[in-house]
Structure 1
């Protein structure tokens, strides 16, 4: 959309369809994920594709952390935590008592 000065002349911004809005949102999420992957994990951790099933293994309900660094520090502060999963879009931080991720079958 092209913006102009308030009260300026020109066409109003184009209204996006729900499909266009969803596509834009998906593109923003993918960009955030790419940037997070490029940044990598904090010291002491490495990125592994996959999922440790069951969510947070320390019985926390919907744990949120604003950064991967905070999530890794939370895991490091727990003696039984050996891995964590952090979502750059939802800021979910699941601490795990197991280190191996499980993969979906192709």
Structure 2
């Protein structure tokens, strides 16, 4: 998944577009999760085999659950990125900040 720059908070058009994309991703994640859970339940209920096929099916089903988990992690991360403020710009190298915080008492 490629990283996207967060939208500028001053641009309403960019914020609306980012919120719409996030809403589309949430809907996609809900549909994808429902389809995967249905497929897993149907496979477990209808599979009547032992041995190598049962092991192969368990590996495929675990991969499906990992895909669902990864989908929700990316959706939640993009939601957090929309809600969090943009980081403060860093000062240029060699320029002292206006205030210093002493971490060690002396």
TM-score between both structures, scaled by the size of structure 2: 0.30
**Larger fraction in strand:** 1
Rg (Cα) greater in structure = 2
Higher helix share: 2
Q: TM-score, normalised by structure 1?
A: 0.30
